[in-house]
Amino acid sequence: MGKIIGIDLGTTNSCVSVMEGSEAVVIPNAEGKRTTPSIIAFVEGGEIKVGDPAKRQAVTNPTKTIASIKRFMGHSFAEITEEAKRVPYSVVKGDNNTPRVDIDGRLYTAQELSAMTLQKMKKTAEDYLGQTVTEAVITVPAYFNDAQRQATKEAGEIAGLKVMRIINEPTAAALAYGLDKKGTDQKIAVYDLGGGTFDISVLELGDGVFEVLSTDGDTHLGGDDFDHVIIDWLADEFKAEEGIDLRLDPMSLQRIKEAAEKAKIELSSSAETEINLPYVTATASGPKHLVKKLSRSQFEKLTDSLVKRSMEPVAKALKNAGLTVSDIDEVILVGGSTRIPRIVEEVEKFFGKKASKGVNPDEVVAIGAAIQGGVLSGDVKDVLLLDVTPLSLGIETMGGVMTVLIEANTTIPTKKSQVFSTAADSQPSVELHVLQGARAMAADNKTIGRFHLDGIPPAPRGVPQIEVSFDIDANGIIKVTATDKGTGKSHDIRIEASSGLTADEIEQMKKDAEANAEADKAAKERAEKLNEADSTIFQTESQLKELGDKISDENKTAIEFALTELRMAHQSQDIAAIQKGLDNVNAAWKTATEAMYAQGEQGQAAAAEPQAEGDNVQDVDYEEVK
């Protein structure tokens, strides 16, 4: 069995880890960074850049640079209309009511774009391990619903990965934190504020068992929202002074977005920061510059509602776990946004204790995913993970009520059945409207699927017995079965997001991803070959200048002719012609150097030969002394 890698697929950054012996190792990417921006860019020539290279060109290519795509995962288009207004790229309505990103008329799903980041993580691991990687554990926010989990799994499949387990991010963090503390019993709270989502999980650790007691959160609260508060403040201030709304221009929006993120980060360690954006826009009167100072106290006032919003699920999770703050032994902060001082202050104030600084908030989730991968492959022993379903599951019944079959925070995997009946006489079929959420009425919850059970024999209302069973696997993915107990006829579906993809679409996207990988490989090989040609031309020219007087005219002419051919091939960017040119230059140079060394050896041999007797004998006069 090959290695099962652990991937934290984040809104802002992603990270990959793998078990090496008994330790989980975070793998640096090709740029030498331990985390990779979850950013994809489509550039001229059809090339796709992922990670830091994509981030670096975002200002000059804002409409084709995709960030924070995780916020669209598993949603219908109707659910993300407000989110779509906040990004510089075009989000349109696609098939099955899905949100799609429009790049030059080609519509990409959130799954396809996330798969590009996952491919980068896969390649990073393969380069490090020196072997092909096909299996992964991928993390999701604990409060992700079934549609969002399905979408994440689909992204893994498109990237060429068999997703062995979907694991909740706070649970993964607890695994990483608690693996070396298996001998102690502890109750811990994991506060996880990432780039786009927020989770709180309460767990009990003991004897290698990691049991989630409760989880809560907000899938639309994260570092992006803190950035947008600064973006709106900057844009409103500039509009008041200059009468121009920078949010309407994609390039200006991208510049203030990057400046806002930078300011937020700087305010974690400084009392004040200056935002300086020269030439942010221009009018008929000339260029306009944006210069503003933002203090930490001002930033805290602007984001006060966001901080308070994060604390509401914390109180709820603690209540659902049946615990008080005094029962919590350790508080762990996860996610880059927990570096904001006000967040740390509020969390510590709520729990009445210092938060643990023993884990890296950017890497701990990927490490936990790798540990779970180790558990699945048998490399990690004596660890049992008991997670929960974050939201209640049920079906719509008479009056538009949601009848709950599985309560939120039920340990998974789990199965639950309940018998229902018909609402009308001689009803031939029933429609099952499957819901997930926490509200009493069906209309207020998330629809995760609909299906029909047909062929019910005619009978008075209330007589037929329809048994509905929910089965949730360890990934938190749901299967629903309806059985007519009278006839034994049943129908089941593995719930797929109502706004999701068909199996054929996933397969096609997988093929497209593989084709993109081949295209990326070809582009890399072309760049490397061009660099090799550049280097060979430079070195050969230098050596000709240095050693030209020692090379025969015939050999020098051959080298110069081969160099001319190589320069022409380099300009054409024809890889085959470049390779031929390189071979010809190397062959001509080899012939010249062999002749040069042969000539040198002949000269040394001649100098070393003994002189023949009688050669160069000179007559001299001498006088005999008596």
The residue from 3, 55, 70, 529 that is catalytic is 70
The confidence score (pLDDT) of residue 498 equals 46
- Integer Cα distance of 541 and 588 in angstroms: 13
- Band of residue 171 on the pLDDT scale cut at 50, 70, 90: very high
Q: What does the pLDDT read at residue 534?
A: 86
* pLDDT tens by residue, 66-107: 999 999 999 999 999 999 998 999 999 998 889 999 999 999
Q: Residue 10 above 70 pLDDT?
A: yes
Active site includes 192? yes
Cα separation, 547 vs 506, in Å, equals 60
Q: What is the CATH number of the domain that holds 560?
A: 1.20.1270.10
623 domain-assigned: no
- What number of residues does the chain have? 626
Q: How far, in Å, are 404, 587, 588, 605 from residue 600 at the CA level?
A: 92, 20, 18, 9
Which own/partner pairs from 586-590 qualify as long-range (CB within 8 Å, at least 24 positions apart)?
586/536, 587/562, 588/555, 588/558, 588/559, 588/561, 588/562, 589/540, 589/543, 589/559
Residues 77 and 174 in one domain: yes
CATH number reported for the structural domain that contains residue 234 in this entry: 3.90.640.10
What does pLDDT average to over the chain?
A: 87
State which residues form the domain around 565. 514-604
Strand partners of residue 112: none
Q: Exposure pattern of 523-559 as b/e (b: 16+ CB <10 Å)?
A: eeeeeebeeebeebbeebeeebeeeeeebeeebbebb
The region that residue 105 occupies, defined by phi over 0 for left and psi between -120 and 50 for alpha, beta otherwise, is: left
Set 135, 154, 192, 379: catalytic member:
192
**Same domain membership, residue 218 and residue 132:** yes
Picking from 249, 255, 254, the residue whose alpha carbon sits closest to that of residue 290 is 255
Give the residue from 608, 534, 625, 523 showing the smallest Cα distance to 571.
Answer: 534
Residues 76 and 214 both lie in one domain: yes
Per-residue pLDDT reduced to its tens digit, 372-407: 999 998 888 878 888 888 888 888 887 888 888 899
pLDDT of residue 202: 95
3-state class (DSSP) for residue 7: strand
The CATH number given to whatever domain includes residue 184 is 3.30.420.40
Task: Please check whether residues 200 and 93 belong to one and the same domain.
Answer: yes
Pair (293, 172) in one structural domain: no
Tell me how many helices (H) and strands (E) the chain has.
Answer: 14, 28
pLDDT-derived band of residue 623, with 50, 70 and 90 as boundaries? low
Domain boundary among 501, 522, 542: 501
Asked if 101 and 19 sit in the same domain, the reply is yes
Torsion of CA 117, 122, 125, 126, to 10 degrees: -140
Residue 612 in any domain: the answer is no
DSSP state, residue 547: H
Same domain, 571 and 597: yes
Please confirm, yes or no, whether 70 is among the known catalytic residues. Answer: yes
Same domain, 107 and 168: yes
Domain count across the chain: 4
Catalytic site residue from 3, 8, 257, 261: 8
Residue 19 located in a structural domain: yes
Q: What is the CATH number of the domain that holds 469?
A: 2.60.34.10
Question: Is residue 169 flagged as an active site residue?
Answer: yes
Q: Which residues of 63-91 are buried (b: 16+ CB within 10 A; e: fewer)?
A: bbbbbbbbbbbbbbbebbeebbebbbbeb
The residue from 387, 409, 442 where one domain ends is 387
- For residues 292 and 382, membership in a common domain is answered with no
Using the 3D structure, point to which of 304, 322, 341 is the last residue of a domain: 304
Q: Which two tokens stand for residue 532?
A: 């090799």
DSSP 8-class letter at 77: G
Residue 444 annotated in active site: no
In a domain, residue 246? The reply is yes
Q: Is residue 611 part of a domain?
A: no
For residues 101 and 217, membership in a common domain is answered with: yes
**228 in a structural domain:** yes
78 vs 99: CA distance, rounded Å: 8
Question: Do 27 and 165 share a domain, yes or no?
Answer: yes
Q: Answer yes or no: is 613 within a domain.
A: no
The single residue of 112, 169, 346, 520 carrying the catalytic annotation is 169
Tell me the mean pLDDT in the region 421-437: 84
Please check whether residues 256 and 274 belong to one and the same domain: yes
Structure-token match 């790049």, residue found: 103
Question: Strands 384-388, 392-397: parallel, antiparallel or unpaired by DSSP?
Answer: unpaired
Residue 428 lies in a domain: yes
Express each pLDDT in 308-332 by its tens digit: 999 999 999 999 999 999 999 999 9
